[in-house]
Chains A and B, each alone.
Chain A
Amino acid sequence: MKTLLTTQELHLRMQERVLVHSLDLNVRAGEVWAVIGPNGAGKSTLLRTLAGLRDVDGGEVSLDGKPLSRYFPKTLARRRGFLPQAVTDAFSLTVWDAVASARYPHLSFWHWGDEDDEPTREALATFELDALADRDITTLSGGERQRVNIAAIFAQDVDVLLLDEPLSSLDLHQQMRVLQELERTAVRDERAVIYSVHDINLAIRHATHAILLDGNGTALAGPMLDVVTGDNLSAAFRHPIHGVDIDGERFFRAGRLTNSKP
């Protein structure tokens, strides 16, 4: 499969703290990457950097072999989409318009956008949002808003999808639907998906690769089961985490902090 997103010796710093010391990444079409790590380890910073919304602190991020900094913003927006952790809408707008706004990079300067409604319709249908199309987005629940914004990335029609905690505030059914759609689009449409997630057991089932950050500069990246091991997780989270096999499936459990049971 074609290589889409690569990093060479990527270095990320937040003030004086080194979040990622040197990360070499090679993300190919069809792959689904999960970004895992403790709070404040730099998951969002890494995703924003991979999306080109933040300058690198060393090294390089490239899409199709060309550094992100050399892309025009609008050209880049036709290739990669990014879901921020939180989208706060200051003004009312309909769900339809929120999703349709993601078509912006595909419209020419003078194009009003009247006729370009097929991608929006499809994205709304994919995430069971048809009935909400005319609702005011500021009156929706947090989970519904989240789905609207995920649908917008699908309407944006990009090769690399970067999502910062897409599953937060979704119910179990919607979590599964979103994960299924992400995996499906990766394989069927030959795209690459990178998302951050806190639930390791979801990650190992719904991603092919993983990036494990520990917040002190170490970033492990590679195929899921090479990276996500009990030892690596315990070291990154500074907490005992053990893998167990149940019915042939691997699960990870965090150990209790004390022996006192409630």
Chain B
Amino acid sequence: MRHGDTPRRIPRNATFASAQRLWIVMLVVAGVVGAACLLCGGGEIRATEAWTALWTDTETPARTIVHELRLPRTVAAFGVGGLLAMAGCLMQVLVRNPLADPYTLGLSGGAAVGALGAMLAGLGSVFVAMGAGIGALITCIAVFMLAHRDLLSRQTSGQRDDTTDLILIGVVLAAGSGAIVSMMLVLAPDRDLRGMLFWMMGDLSGVAWWGVPAICLLACLFVVVPLGRQLNLLTRGEDSASALGVKPGAVKAAIFALSSIATAIAVTTAGTIGFVGLVVPHALRRLVGNDQRVLIPASAIGGGTLVVVADTLSRSIVAPIQLPVGAVMAIIGVPAFLMLLVRRR
């Protein structure tokens, strides 16, 4: 939108009170949605049964399903979604581009190479998860080393728009890992192929450490939210930010590290789930404005809720067959994102 049109109204930065109200409302919605998702699902038990099973202590099959399958899975889905949306938010500030997401910087590609490599070697699920995490971290260290001038140098800051290098390095590494993944898929024996494809499209069934993503999300938020005001200044450019007393290099290195760790944990837990990091911050930015102090926690809650819904859909639509949650997410995400983009004009 340019001059001549009616100026689009955007909200001013929220006061602390209204930010709190927003977070509380979103948390309540997340709680209700989460509870509803515990009750829905494959045809094994009815919602009313699930509800009583949720609060009972006696060992029934329904209780086992709700407490040992659905509850861990829902908590893990929330944690993963929250981590991805938060990482998306941070990456967008880091490269100052609203179209960046955790995967733009090549992390998912690296994770896929690690995880599929472990599967190809015939290793167990623990090693697959470790492979994914290590792959993501190696990629992000590679990006960091190649772009460290961008991230740490004070001399170059402001002289040129240095974020392009970061995106380019990420895109090139992603393309490289994509090629390796294709080769692995061709070389893989048929019996492994299905598992590999599932992993690449995101899979929350059989999550081992289901509490980890949620705990990490909480820890990351405690570090990131106090940095919010500095992130706000960084979105206006490094020279303006450092003139106002921010150390752009330090803040950028911190958010790069945090978003990489967040992505690595999410990928380790659930494989690659796209679009959360892109769609959620983008949609919420229209709703709550671009104050990172408000936006980042809101994205975390919103992303968590969205993945919980997507995961519930993926295990209930054609139950007992499970769809990959990443694919379900993309089917929700693509039209939603296109609608947001088109409505902007």
What residues make up the interface of A, taking CB atoms closer than 8 Å to B?
48, 51, 53-55, 72-78, 80-82, 84, 87-94, 96-98, 100-102, 104-105, 107, 109, 112-114, 134-136, 139, 141, 149, 156
Is A91's CB under 8 angstroms from B244's CB? no
A168 to B92, CA, bound (A): 30
Q: Is the interface of B mostly helix, strand, loop or mixed?
A: loop
Q: Does B98 contact A (CB under 8 A)?
A: yes
Q: Does B2 contact A (CB under 8 A)?
A: yes
| A53-B239, A53-B242, A105-B244 known; A91+B285 contact, CB < 8 A | yes
Is B12's CB under 8 angstroms from A87's CB? no
Is B245's CB under 8 angstroms from A55's CB? no
Of B3, B10, B157, B236, the contact of A87 (CB 8 Å cutoff): B236
Question: How many A-B contacts are there with CB distance less than 8 Å?
Answer: 113
Q: Does B158 contact A (CB under 8 A)?
A: yes
Between-chain CB contacts (< 8 Å), 30 pairs: A48-B239, A53-B154, A53-B157, A53-B239, A53-B242, A73-B246, A76-B245, A77-B243, A77-B244, A77-B245, A82-B240, A84-B239, A87-B237, A87-B240, A90-B235, A91-B98, A92-B10, A92-B290, A94-B12, A94-B289, A97-B13, A104-B244, A105-B244, A107-B229, A109-B226, A112-B16, A113-B229, A134-B10, A139-B8, A156-B244
Is B10's CB under 8 angstroms from A94's CB? yes
Q: Which residues from B are CB-within-8-Å of A109? A: 226
Is A96's CB under 8 angstroms from B233's CB? no
Q: Does B43 contact A (CB under 8 A)?
A: no
Q: Which residues from B are CB-within-8-Å of A82? A: 239-240, 243
* Chain A residue nearest in CB terms to B157: A53
Q: Which residues from A are CB-within-8-Å of B229? A: 104, 107, 113
Q: Does B247 contact A (CB under 8 A)?
A: yes
Nearest-neighbour CB distance to chain B for A244, whole angstroms, equals 38
| A53-B158, A89-B235, A90-B97 known; A81+B13 contact, CB < 8 A | no
Nearest-neighbour CB distance to chain B for A193, whole angstroms, equals 15
* Chain B residue nearest in CB terms to A133: B12
Of B7, B13, B154, B245, the contact of A104 (CB 8 Å cutoff): B245
Nearest-neighbour CB distance to chain A for B157, whole angstroms, equals 8
A84 to B229, CA, bound (A): 20
* Given A82-B239, A91-B92, 9 additional A-B pairs, CB 8 A: A75-B245, A78-B245, A87-B240, A97-B12, A98-B236, A101-B232, A101-B244, A113-B13, A141-B3
Is A89's CB under 8 angstroms from B158's CB? no
Nearest-neighbour CB distance to chain B for A64, whole angstroms, equals 17
Sorted nearest first, the 3 A-B pairs with minimum C-beta distance are A77-B245, A74-B245, A82-B243
A191 to B25, CA, bound (A): 47
A113 to B185, CA, bound (A): 54
Q: Does B1 contact A (CB under 8 A)?
A: yes
| A77-B245, A97-B291, A102-B244 known; A90+B96 contact, CB < 8 A | yes
A71 to B230, CA, bound (A): 18
A74 to B243, CA, bound (A): 9
